[in-house]
Amino acid sequence: MEATTEDINKLYKLITEAKHLVALTGAGVSTLSGIRDFRGKNGLYNELDAEKIFDIYYFEKDPSLFYTQGGSFIYNIDEKEPSIVHNVLGKLEQRGYLKSLITQNIDLLHQKGGCKKVIEIHGSPSTHYCFHCAGINVSYEEVAEVVRKGEMPKCPKCGRVLKPAITFFGESLPAEALKQATIESQQADVMLILGTSLTVFPAASMPEHTLRNSGKLVIVNNMSTPLDYQAFMHFEDLGQVFEGLNQLLN
Ligand code: ZN
């Protein structure tokens, strides 16, 4: 279902008149930048052993799988450019419309697209820590340099391999980010739900907070979600909708 000019105008009005606009994004936003979805039709799950790559017990035993296989897409993402969706969301934040952005993505592309208020509920590779030494905090850039040479990042104190602050299977989600995401979802009078099928919790529960406080949901996703029937507006093509919004913003 293609969004008409009238639809886009209506959405633009909703966005620019919202009191507390919040966005919730998933993998669909990044596939436009050439980042592959883990679970989608051409997802990495089918090709790589993602269950193992992102498994904390496996990582503790042997982190090399993560840094060799996972590394090829996590640490080459600065070659990827933000998509029209990342860029428009960045503009919306800079112009004061977007109050915060909750993402399930771990690719740092929202930051690259100009968003500063990013809540990363599945963690982030922006920092790396040591299981054994408190206070170790190594940046994405430093680690990426090491990984691209085919090596693993080591703790400057004890020499053990560092772990990215991405949430792995078997780990609990970052509590502070979840708390913030919940508060933002409760405050939202409009939530944009972009490129996520709302099947993974707790992301899937965020729109429920918005609905409970009489906020409106706008869903843009190429697959159906369990909340489609509750959406105020619903579109399928992220690229088309955001090209339209971009024209109105210029
Ligand atoms: Zn250490």
Tens of pLDDT, residue by residue, the chain (250 residues): 689 999 999 999 999 999 999 999 999 998 877 776 555 545 555 556 677 888 999 999 999 999 988 887 788 766 788 999 999 999 999 999 999 999 999 999 999 999 999 999 999 999 999 999 999 999 999 999 999 999 999 999 999 999 999 999 999 999 999 999 999 999 999 999 999 999 888 888 999 999 999 999 999 999 999 999 999 999 999 999 999 999 999 8
Catalytic sites, residue numbers: 122
Q: What is the spatial distance between Cα 249 and Cα 215, in angstroms, rounded to a whole number?
A: 23
Distance CA 76, CA 144 (A): 8
CA distance 13 to 11: 5
* Distance from residue 40's CA to the centre of ligand 1 (Å): 36
- For 94, which DSSP code? H
Domains of the chain: 1-35+83-122+173-250 (3.40.50.1220), 38-79+123-166 (3.30.1600.10)
In the reported structure, the alpha carbon of residue 131 is separated from the centroid of ligand 1 by a whole-number distance in angstroms of 7
Neighbours of 187 (CB within 10 A): 16
What single-letter amino acid sits at 73? F
How far is the centre of ligand 1, averaged over its atoms, from the C-alpha of 127 (Å)?
14
Strand partners, 22: 100, 191
Check whether the bond before 202 is cis (ω within 30° of 0).
yes
